Structure 1
Amino acid sequence: MRSQILIVDDEKSFVRSMTFALGEAGFGARSAHTGEDALNALAMTPADLMLLDLRLPGMSGMDVLAETTRLYPDLPVVMISAHGDTRSAVQAVKAGATDYLTKPFALDELLHLIRSITDRTRMRDELDYHRKRTANSSGLVGSSQPMKALWQTVQRVAASSTGRILLLGESGTGKAVVARAIHQQSPRAEGAFVEINCAALPEQLIEAELFGAEKGAYTGAHQKRSGLVALAHGGTLFLDEIGELPPSLQAKFLHFLENGDYRPVGGTVSHTADVRVVAATNRALEEDVRSGRFREDLFFRLNVIELTVPPLRERGEDLQELLDVFIESQAREEGCRPIAIPPETLERLCAYRWPGNVRELRNLVERLTILHPGQPIRPDQLPAEFTATATAETPVDAAISLDQQLQHTERGMILQALEQSGGHKGRAAEKLGMSRHAFKRRLQRLGLT
């Protein structure tokens, strides 16, 4: 992607020639003729480097440099001075400018300086990225107290000999990330980390997926296949949505947990696998046990070590860190400049309850990066539910119409039900005593889709 250069100079002929020359050299170039316009341009679209004239109408070049250094401390600034202003240019470097050029200068001199600076910046950014990647190699992002406590527990559990771990938490909190962190921090890290979502496969295929199948064991089984249990031998098997495991398979899985033995579908010979099993659910398994949907002995066999992953609304201090990670990752994925989150937009995000937790935040960053690449995100560019949150927290004025008051109350009830249901629309509908279709119609009418 081309580096973007902002040229700030009141000599329009000079700016036109510089814009053309930089474009021919493979750079993107924009221009501003006053200091105020330059700051507005940076607020709208970030730049990789700024060429700044010392003498400008209105704000001086030194004033623009001071404000730019305060607002964008990582932005390289090259000061341009007229002949005889060298002393001022040196003062500008001491005040934070990266370098300076004295008019008139050769184009080759300018291009060499720009390439040197942009190469250094790119190298610095890559080093920062690899440092962050190393620091966050566990995948667990956040320095809030709940995340510090979770990380300490993950390290203790990972190093232990326990082979059965149950992860609890609302949908979207990152239970799969925690499971992978447990694997990476354990003596089994050299082995495989194998994941299966029990809710994503048809009931008749889950057993074959887990334990494998002999040729001809069922329609379509044209050859012998190994199961995920065999693949995870010596490593970790992660079962997401364990509450969705079919009752017909729960007894067989309990047998495997007790002694490591299993038999492929259609097989006559038992096999053994040494795996650490990490199971996760956003359901209240105790209620499923009481209702008979989940075996009590299987629940207790799984629940040797229990970890609860905190919801995002209890990790407010982590929001900025998560945003930084997701914004950088998504910009790299889309091949564009990262979006920026100004303070007024961050305030709106912090006030939101995040019923979909970290997954919802990641999806939001993906959406905003695709729709507004490289731009600062205004509050009005956020989805409707963020406006709804702000509205729900505003006291209802007595002058508001009855319809508006009812809509306000209905919106609050729906948001609360979604939050309590971990973002699951079907369960939220059940809590409110309405059908799933009626619930969806209300979501659409209230702009909460």
Structure 2
Amino acid sequence: MPRQIRILIVDDEESFVRSLSFALRTEGMDVTGVHSGEDAFLQVRENKFDIILLDLRLPGADGMEVLDSIRKLDIDVPVIMISAHGDTRAAVKAVKLGAADYLSKPFELDELIHTINTTLDQNRTALELDYHRKRNVPTNGLIGECAPMRELRTTIDRVAQSSASRILLQGESGTGKALVARAIHGESPRASNAFIEVNCAALPEQLIESELFGAEKGSYTGAHQKRTGLVRLADGGSLFLDEIGELPLALQAKFLHFLENGDYRPVGSEHSASADVRVIAATNRDLAEEVRLGNFREDLFYRLNVITIDIPALRHRGEDIIKLVDHFADHQAKAEGCHPIHFDDATLDLLRHHRWRGNVRELKNLIERLTILYPSKQISPDLLPAEFHVTDDNPDDRHGGVSDGNAQLQDRMDNTERHLVQDALDQADGHKGRAAEILGISRHALKRRLQRLGLQ
């Protein structure tokens, strides 16, 4: 449940404060009302407010003096000035002194609520930008100062500004390939146009062509209206194809044709279309090996493999792990409305040397879990999940090697996945298409899992 907005109303008209407090409380806000500048100053010093509604004309210290005093206290709370006098010069002066906005009485409640929400959104954005500047956290979300991350940023800058229209991102699952794709788009001349993201493993095999290239009405069963393809939506921008290795072989030839010249044909159409799209593909598989096994077209692989960016695994990023721990702890604390969790030295050491098979995604999920279970607390080793505990029998764990413990964990994960897939097949009476729908993956992705898990 979202936290209540805390508002301080400062106005010498008691009836106005009373009626406005009642109206704002009915909107779910927590309201405090005072009638003088001196009382306002005391409230601000003793309590934390999200926003202040401050009358310009007050007995004793007027609104301008109160505003100036609040700013001198270095209390970062937005102030909306209120006056019945409609004094434009006073409004300009108030904004120069740091007021966020200005309203003249009488005003509608809807107008006030809109101004409050807009002011809070602007203030939240400003605080986040200031936070990133102070912590040297880039706004594209790529956190870390290790050598591989510095090299990655340099590569992103160079590629984003280049004419390269076919880019392949390689890295383990959870390393942040989607984040890198967005950074390339956001720093490119295409940034003002669309960024379209497609997970090739999540789309049903029989629909993936129409999703990508579009379809005419009646071109297949269930096509009750014309479908606009994602390629067209990305025209002028970027198309991010995650898990490109899961693209069905039958579609790979058509996609190769599109990559060659930008031409494609919607399903059921007699006419070709074209789109100017930067294609960013991503995979956690060894595509060269997939080519050798016959699962991926060789010509498509070489067409994609012109500009390749390798994204480092988390276990190779050294102290970046601790930077990410702090970042996710702060972020999750805001979401839960609590103080960030923090870690003792022994726990930090375990985090530094964990293998992180799930990479940044695994770390983010861990911090979310710990924040929910132990809000605001110091995290000691005993509060970490079992796989983080290192024993003398498994010294390779501490150094990120593939230990017996980690191998056993992988076996358990494979067994769990095997049971899930087998349950889906049982529910579908062995029908692979229906089993894939139950699992929320494509038929092609299911076939790959069946091979890997030995369920053929």
TM over 0.5: yes
Please say if residues 143 and 320 of structure 2, whose CA atoms lie closer than 8 Å, have aligned partners that are also in contact: yes
Superposed displacement of residue 319, structure 1: 1.2
SS at match of 2:276: coil
2:286 matches 1:296? no
Amino acid of the structure 1 residue aligned with 2:186: Q
Structure 1 residue 324 displacement after superposition: 2.1
Question: Which residue identity is paired with 1:129?
Answer: E
Instruction: Map 1:77-156 to 2 at 5 A.
Output: 111-115=43-47, 120=74, 129-133=128-132, 135-156=137-158
Identify the residue that residue 425 of structure 2 maps to in structure 1: none
- Contact 1:355–1:418 (CA under 8 A) maintained in structure 2: no
Shift of 1:115: 3.1
Written as runs of structure 1 = structure 2, the 5 A alignment for 1:308-347 is: 308-347=310-349
1:244 corresponds to which of 240, 243, 246: 246
CA separation in 2, counterparts of 1:266 and 1:437?
A: 38
Does structure 1 retain, via aligned residues, the 8 Å contact 2:241–2:280?
A: yes
Q: 1:232 to 1:290 in 2, by over 3 A?
A: same
Q: Deviations over 1:125-161 (max 9, x none)?
A: 9655322446522221111111000000000000000
Task: List per-residue Cα deviations over 1:304-357 (Å, max 9, x = no partner).
Answer: 100100000000221122122212222222333322223222111112110110
Report the equivalent of 2:188: 186
SS in 2 for 1:380: helix
Q: For residue 316 of structure 1, give the secondary structure of its aligned residue in structure 2.
A: coil
Residues 46-445 of structure 1 correspond to what in structure 2 (within 5 A)?
A: 111-115=43-47, 120=74, 129-133=128-132, 135-387=137-389, 389-390=390-391, 393-394=394-395, 410-414=404-408, 436=453
Question: TM-score normalised to the size of structure 1?
Answer: 0.64
Specify every segment of 5 or more residues in structure 1 that has no aligned partner in the other structure, as ranges. Answer: 4-25, 27-105, 397-407, 427-433, 439-449
The offset of 1:122, in angstroms, is 5.3
Structure 1 contact 392–411 (Cα < 8 Å) conserved? no
SS of corresponding position for 1:194 = strand
**Aligned CA distance change for structure 1 residues 392 and 359 (closer, same or farther; 3 Å):** farther
| Displacement of 1:418 | 9.8
Task: Check conservation: 2:176, 2:360, Cα contact below 8 A.
Answer: yes
- Cα RMSD of the aligned pairs, angstroms, is 3.5
TM-score by length of 2: 0.63
Task: Specify the code of the residue in structure 2 equivalent to 1:130.
Answer: L
State the AA in 1 paired with 2:46.
Answer: I
Amino acid at match of 1:153: T
Native 8 Å contact 1:168 1:281 kept in 2: yes
Query: Aligned-pair distance for 1:373?
Result: 1.6
In structure 1, the residue matched to 2:448 is: none
SS of 2:198's equivalent in the other structure is strand
Structure 2 Cα separation of the partners of residues 112 and 251 of structure 1: 66
In the alignment, the residues of structure 2 paired with residue 136 and residue 333 of structure 1 have an alpha-carbon distance, to the nearest angstrom, of 20
**SS at 2:188 equivalent:** coil
Match of 1:102 in 2: none
Q: What is the DSSP-based 3-state SS (H/G/I as helix, E as strand, rest coil) of the residue aligned with 1:180?
A: helix
Deviation of 1:209 after TM superposition, in Å, equals 0.7
What residue is the counterpart of 1:447 in the other structure?
none
Could you tell me the percent identity over the aligned residues?
Answer: 55
